[in-house]
Amino acid sequence: MLRALHAHVSAAPQRPALHSLGRTISYGKLWRRVERACAHLAGTWGVRPGDRVATLCLNHDLQLALLFACARLGAIFVPLNFRLAVPELSAIAAHAGIRMLFHDAPHAQAAAEVAAAAMHAPIDSLIDRPAALDTRLPQPSQPPGQAPLLLVYTSGSTGQPKGALHTQAGLLANARASWWAHGMTQDDHILSVLPLFHVGGLCIQTLPALLAGAQVTLHQRFAPDAWLAALAQTRATLALMVPATLRAVLEHPGWPQADLSSLRGVMAGSSPIPRAYIDAFHARGVPLGQVYGATETGPVSVVLRLDQAMARPGYAGWPQPEVRVRLAGADGTEVADGEVGELWLAGANLMQGYWRQPDHPDFRDGWFHSGDLAHRNADGCIEVVGRSKDMIISGGENIYPAEIENVLLGLPGVQDCAVVGLPDPRWGEVPVAVVVPAAGADRAALAHEALRETLALSIARFKLPRRVVLLDSLPKSALGKVLKPQLRAMLAMSSG
């Protein structure tokens, strides 16, 4: 992986690599920062191969320098989710056995509390004091490609957080998948606004772009007005979004007049993309592709490429060249085309395994069992229909919440929604729809019976929600995924 970066350093050291916090960092300067970060980690703090080095901060270019420095030292980079509470962060820090924690000013207090609670290791405000990188020391030889480099903890939306451990070789394979997915070259300019503590923000476009010799404009965090302004100012060619950020951009008053002419396309992921969002970008001539994956898969695994996006809107797409996909039935055998099975994935970009959980059932014999349900068309195109844990069995019939949610999101007055199953003495389970009305919506049209009548025009009657609940918002993870276990618990309490 370091060789890929250094090739661009050698070929064009003055080429811009990063635009961050009002400054431009060339590839040559980025490499010098990596060298200095290496010296600081090894010389000042005694970081050695295998040590875990964490960050707790808003997006910052020095996170990327630290990642490459860890690659050179053989250390393991652990980006922490600053949106978590201190007890959650402390549990992750203890589980990971963090050796060193770097933070920015807004998270100094949280970092100190985490260190006191879980680490017994030093913290440093390296990100606020880049001058601390001035010392140079002799550097060790490059670790082998199979050396672990990145430890990313899952959001915990389905249980306790797990640490997915990725190797240098796996991250390079993921970069190749990203280049294939986007048709990415050194001429591209990436607008990176999603948090680098997730593999989405870090590994779908940002890291692959640097390994391709492209430019990256890095925002500390997403804001729709800043995103739209940056497109015009930077002439960015590619961007990555999630449903929540897509919606924020589409609802911004500057959207109709926004200059999107430089964009070759936008990739989206993390959860199903409402068709209305896809259509809105396509109407402006911007392909909205999709990346399917998980923290455990790198994440670029199944892709609706930009050159396919307008022909197959809403589909997850096709497996990237270095990934194998199995749609497995309950007995683990492959289901036929058109039948629903659980998505299993294997390939070069998958994680090495779960940190300190070598026998975890989600990762067996090289296959990651995603828990997602999907079917495959005759041409190999894959459509995700829901989570296996979210599937509702009502009166012996399988109901996939995504089917109902997709119809709901197309109705006037529906800003957001989720469908979950709740226990029922007669049917076993029944679907319950939770709807977030749009501003000014006719709430009477979203009441239970009225909504059921509308839905009955599009879906089978056994799939109709037995109950409709209107809420101001849905509980979501940092990447905008609905936290359905929390939602079920809320609904169970309200009905009990």
Q: How far apart are CA 71 and CA 38, in angstroms?
A: 9
- 326 with 335: CB under 8 angstroms? no
Written as six digits, the tokens of 392 are: 């509702």
Neighbours of 89 (CB within 10 A): 26
Which residues, other chains included, contact 372 with Cβ-Cβ below 8 Å and sequence gap of 6+?
342, 343, 384, 386, 387, 388
Q: What is the pLDDT of residues 78-97, one digit of tens each?
A: 999 998 888 889 989 999 99
Q: How far apart are CA 55 and CA 41, in angstroms?
A: 13
For the chain, 496 residues long, give each residue's pLDDT as a single digit of tens.
999 999 999 999 999 999 999 999 999 999 999 999 999 999 988 999 999 999 999 999 999 999 999 999 999 999 999 988 888 899 899 999 999 999 999 999 999 999 988 877 778 875 555 444 555 555 555 677 789 999 999 854 445 679 999 999 999 999 999 999 999 999 999 999 999 999 999 999 999 999 999 999 999 999 999 999 999 999 999 999 988 899 899 999 999 999 999 999 999 987 778 888 999 999 999 999 999 999 999 999 999 999 999 999 989 999 999 999 999 998 999 999 999 999 999 999 999 999 999 999 999 999 999 999 999 999 999 999 888 888 898 887 788 888 899 889 989 999 999 999 998 888 888 999 999 999 899 988 898 899 999 999 888 888 999 999 999 999 988 777 889 989 999 998 886 5
- Taking all residues of the chain, what is their mean pLDDT, rounded to a whole number? 91
- What pTM was estimated for this model as a whole? 0.85
Residue 195's Cβ-side half-sphere holds a number of Cα atoms within 13 Å equal to 19
- 277 with 246: CB under 8 angstroms? yes
> Which alpha helices (DSSP H) does 215-259 contain, by range?
224-234, 243-250
Written as six digits, the tokens of 400 are: 């996939």
| DSSP bridge partners of 364 | 367
Q: State how far the alpha carbon of 485 is from the alpha carbons of 158, 313, 370, 490, in Å.
A: 7, 29, 17, 9
Q: C-alpha angle with apex 171: 168 to 173, nearest 5 degrees?
A: 110
Given the structure tokens 């679907």, which residue do they identify? 431
Kind plus residue range of the DSSP H or E element containing 45: helix 45-45
Domain 392-495 is found in CATH 3.30.70.1150: no
**What CATH architecture does domain 2-376 belong to?**
3-Layer(aba) Sandwich (3.40)
Range(s) of the chain covered by CATH 3.40.50.12780:
2-376
What secondary structure letter does DSSP report for 201?
I
| DSSP bridge partners of 435 | 417, 470
Range(s) of the chain covered by CATH 3.30.300.30:
392-495
Q: What is the pLDDT of residue 207?
A: 99
Could you tell me what percentage of the chain is helix, strand and coil, using 3-state DSSP and rounding each to the nearest 5? Answer: 35, 25, 40
